[in-house]
Structure 1
Amino acid sequence: MIARFLANEGLRLRAYQPPTPEQRQIDQLLRRRSKIVTLKTALQLTCSDAPCLRTETARLLKSFAALLKQIDQQLATLQQAMPERAQQLERLQSIPGVGPLTACWLANLLDRVPFANSDALVAFTGMDPQPCDSQTYEHCRERGWTMTEAIVIFARKMLRIALAMHKTQKCFDAQFVGKTA
């Protein structure tokens, strides 16, 4: 079975490329930040209807905000240490809806994993349940898709655009979205 796999897929296999120390640290900080945001949201939801906990909740939320600010500063410092990263972040943030954190995550991923095409990137991120890249959000909702389905469709579209921009080293240009060469 392994021999058959290697015979069929061997030429397309690539050697594993471990993350650089900076990439590993950025990944860890992004995961920690995500968990802290989840905990902060859970605290807000849990204590929102408890007036007796208002003071302590506010103090904890302020601490969460300070911790998130510290993580954001560490991410910025790490990225400033990578000379080519500034232009890449600027290009990625030119995509409507992509902010500093998403750009940071995408840049880290695209630098580390050499995706052959946008389908590989979409599959890697787990966002390939159904194709519909050329639709508008309203069109997707009119077709009866749930909010989650519509969001996944647009996340896939954003990933495809990000990979194209990464490969061409060009900024986002809305006039080319949906057009093929």
Structure 2
Amino acid sequence: LLRRRAALVSARTSLTQSWGNEASLKDAFNSFAKHFESLDLLIQKRLKTLVREAGLSEQVARCQAVEGIGFLTAVALVTAFIRGDFKRSDSFIAFLGMDLKVAESGQKSGRRCLTKRGCSEVRRLLHNAAMAASKTAAWKEVYEHYRNTGKATTQALVILSRKLARIAFALMKTQGEYMSKGGK
């Protein structure tokens, strides 16, 4: 359902960008766009129902307690978590495809990049969560620290999204409650 929603959002964005400047068809396109929005709301409502029926509401609520993580990201993280038996957060990060691939041989030291083995939709949702978290008091300082050390915006957001995924993993693994840093 998350992948279907991603396809819907992608199609809506594409159509909005390509038809946005067409003044003669603006009214017709606006009604068409409202259908996309209602479909999106139906998918989200169905996700909430499925989460409740599967008994995963507590896990989703735990993940949502972390600053920046919304309902869709929490659902994606919980579904990824229940798909495997992860002993450590490193294996969970690797399952998501957010672990680094090291390209080194002898004296040569190549660029490091994400393996991108997992579901791309979960990575996209985590990236969006990191963007939202970077604006909160709890995570702004962490984000700014990485930006000030010379990291590019995308690198800082990937680091932050990995941190968010590790925190969510710890909360789901220990069944604990999230204690906010509160802008420390």
TM norm structure 1:
0.74
Asked if the contact 1:92/1:171 (under 8 Å) is kept, the reply is no
1:156 aligned to 2:162? yes
Query: What fraction of aligned residue pairs are identical, expressed as a percent?
Result: 36
Tell me the residue number matched to 2:52. 80
- 1:78 counterpart letter in structure 2: L
Once superposed, what is the RMSD of the aligned Cα atoms? Answer: 1.9
Q: Which has the larger radius of gyration?
A: 1
Distance 1:123 1:80 in 2: 28
Distance 2:31 2:151 in 1: 41
1:141 aligned to 2:147? yes
Cα displacement string for residues 86-115 of structure 1 (whole angstroms, at most 9, x for unaligned residues):
111111100111111111111111122111
Tell me the residue number matched to 1:97. 68
Asked if the contact 1:141/1:147 (under 8 Å) is kept, the reply is yes
Asked if the contact 1:79/1:86 (under 8 Å) is kept, the reply is yes
1:170 aligned to 2:176? yes
Relative to its length, the structure with more strand (as a share) is 2
Aligned-partner SS, 2:54:
coil
How many residues align? The count is 144
Tell me the residue number matched to 1:44. 16
TM norm structure 2:
0.73
1:116 aligned to 2:87? yes
Tell me the residue number matched to 1:9. none
Distance 2:92 2:99 in 1: 10
Tell me the residue number matched to 1:10. none
Give ranges in structure 1 of 5+ residues lacking alignment.
1-28, 176-181
Distance 1:111 1:126 in 2: 16
Displacement after TM superposition at 1:41 (Å) = 0.9
- 1:164 counterpart letter in structure 2: A
Asked if the contact 2:143/2:156 (under 8 Å) is kept, the reply is yes
Displacement after TM superposition at 1:50 (Å) = 1.8
Asked if the contact 1:92/1:162 (under 8 Å) is kept, the reply is yes
Tell me the residue number matched to 2:32. 60
Runs of 4+ deviating beyond 3 Å: none
Give ranges in structure 2 of 5+ residues lacking alignment.
101-111, 114-138
Distance 1:169 1:136 in 2: 25
